[in-house]
Amino acid sequence: MSTISLPDESPMLRREFTYGVATSSFQIEGATESRIPCIWDTFCAQPNTIADSSNGDLACEHVKYWQQDVAMIADLGVDAYRLSIAWGRVMNEDGSANVQGLQFYKDLVTALRQKNIKVFVTLYHWDLPQYLEAQGGWLNRDTAYAFALYADVVSNALGEQVYSYATLNEPFCSAYLGYEEGIHAPGKVGQAYGRQAAHHLLLAHGLAMQALRHNVPNSLCGIVLNFSTAYSATDSQADIDAARMGDEYHNHWYIQPLLEGTYPDVMSQIGVDAQPHIAPGDMDIIAQKNDFIGVNYYTRAVYRSDGEGWFEQVVPQGHALTAMGWEIVPDAFTKLLVELDQRYDLPPIYITENGAAFDDRLVAGEVVDQQRIDYFNSHLRAVDNAIKQGVDIRGYFAWSLMDNFEWALGYSKRFGIVYVDYATQQRTLKHSALAYKAMLSNRL
Ligand code: FCB
């Protein structure tokens, strides 16, 4: 079996570099009967939303098998586990806490701590309670305040047993895919919707940070953002300008307000009607100090001019693709990290997601996923290169611990380092999991 390895002098081989695996609540938990419905339950129930017409009703049945899953995580030898809390499992519609739901996460965190695994909690990985969506969801400013209340309840209950709290996972996906393009829940379409949702998500982050600072001053608090490194399709000035606009619109729209308290200039190039309403004081709430920023990276994006002063994304060419059709470009990962570091005064960075889907086959009890091992090798080296160029990166989480519900693509795409047979819920460590485990046990 081939291995995952890093250059001998890599700082990532030292024990203080944190390695983990990541999941999210809706993608693995199942047990919908013990929580209130969320926007993904509703979205999945609509026709033509999910590639295989599936839903999160069972997923990996993690609520049932959580003890076995904790044992599996511990067996991998990781330092940390990144999980998300289902908002609707811990809060009831009337604003009271769901005591049993909180207990589930308390037990999970305690079990992980007993195995000496650091717990990285994400408070919002896209599963907004449906009753809040009925009141406008992220288009309604009140949702940001409801989120802060939820953050207060969770951080009070779990406290500093949780090593790190991230407020949101990938607000780009919630806002753009969910409210602008409509390919994710809640399936709304419109630029004004997308921009307003983005602003309220960022506001929610800022308000939740205030609660976290108060309740868990010693936990590491921040946010997780996703980036696709922007490239221009050609050397023409029009395409270079388009790539810069695409970068501002999809990447910097989320990080610049957090770190500098302003939106990128590309805001002035969209119609006034589509610009978000920003109340006085909002940008100060958004731009609070973060202890870390989580970076999720999978691939790059290639842009060209649409001929009318705006950008469009082109289907990339020239690199091998994952089963998602995403180009494998590890250099773009280094470029992203180095450029973020040059542009901003960054807090410490954790790579909170990185990984790939391939068409895995379980044959005679084994999954030989050499392409995934290659992906991890090249991308860990990309992180190592960025560290050597001065970027302060503290940890790396493989996406994902196990195959799970891949949003609009349902169960048709497998990102896990552990294979899940959904009919039996049998988990099998793929060769990539064995290679990750071997690499972790060889650290200095
Ligand atoms: C990210 C999501 C994660 C997973 C990966 C493949 O955008 O955060 O839940 O679906 O993509």
- pLDDT value, residue 163: 99
Closest CA to 125 of 36, 185, 200: 185
Residue 240 confidence (pLDDT): 98
Other CB atoms within 10 A of residue 150 CB: 24
Rounded percentage of the chain residues whose pLDDT exceeds 70: 100
Q: Going by CA atoms, what residue is nearest to atom 10 of ligand 1? A: 406
Q: Write down how long the chain is.
A: 444
What per-residue confidence (pLDDT) applies to 303?
98
Helices (H), 159-236: 171-172, 191-215
Residue 170 annotated as catalytic: yes
Q: How does pLDDT run across 207-217, given as a tens digit for each residue? A: 999 999 999 99
Q: Report the nearest atom of ligand 1 relative to the CA of 407.
A: 10
Q: Among all chains, which residue has been given the structure tokens 């954790």?
A: 350
The token duo for 29 is 């938990």
Express each pLDDT in 291-333 by its tens digit: 999 999 999 999 999 999 999 999 988 899 999 999 999 999 9
Q: Is residue 389 part of a domain?
A: yes
Q: Quick check: CB of 170 below 6 Å from ligand 1?
A: yes
Question: pLDDT band at residue 108, thresholds of 50, 70 and 90?
Answer: very high
| Domain range enclosing 422 | 11-441
Q: What is the pLDDT of residue 316?
A: 80
Residue 115 has pLDDT above 80, yes or no: yes
Residue 248 falls in the annotated catalytic set? no
Within-domain flag for 4: no
Name the average pLDDT for the chain: 98
Q: How far is the CA of 324 from the centre of ligand 1 (A)?
A: 11
Q: Of these residues, 29, 133, 353, 406, which one is catalytic? A: 353
Place of tokens 């001065």: 390
Residue 1 pLDDT: 62
For residue 2, the model assigns a pLDDT of 85
pLDDT confidence band for 162 (50 / 70 / 90): very high
Q: In which band, very low, low, confident or very high, does the pLDDT at 149 lie, cut at 50, 70 and 90?
A: very high
In a domain, 310, yes or no: yes
Q: What is the CATH number of the domain that holds 204?
A: 3.20.20.80
| 433-441: average pLDDT | 97
Task: For residue 1, give Cα distances in angstroms to 261, 336, 360.
Answer: 49, 31, 16
In a domain, 291, yes or no: yes
Q: Which whole number is the average pLDDT over 393-421?
A: 99
Q: With cut-offs at 50, 70 and 90, classify the pLDDT of residue 444.
A: confident
Is 5 part of a structural domain of the chain? Answer: no
* DSSP symbol at 441: H
Alpha-carbon torsion (410, 415, 421, 425), positive or negative? negative
C-alpha distance from residue 355 to each of 151, 433, 436 (Å) = 28, 12, 12
Q: What was the pLDDT predicted at 317?
A: 83
Q: What pLDDT is recorded for position 12?
A: 97
Q: What is the pLDDT of residues 42-62, one digit of tens each?
A: 999 999 999 999 999 999 999
Q: What is the mean pLDDT of residues 106-111?
A: 99
Residue 308 counted as domain residue = yes
Ligand 1 in contact with 398 (CB < 6 A)? no
Distance separating alpha carbons of residues 207 and 123, to the nearest angstrom: 13
Residue 355 lies in a domain: yes
- Number of domains into which the chain is organized: 1
Examine residue 6 and state whether it is found in any structural domain, yes or no.
Answer: no
24 Cα–ligand 1 center, Å: 9
Is residue 31 within 8 A of residue 91, CB to CB? The reply is: no
Locate the ligand 1 atom nearest the alpha carbon of residue 170 and give its number: 8
- Residue 436 identity: Y
pLDDT, residue 98, reads 98
**Of 137, 134, 228, residue with least CA distance to 175:** 137
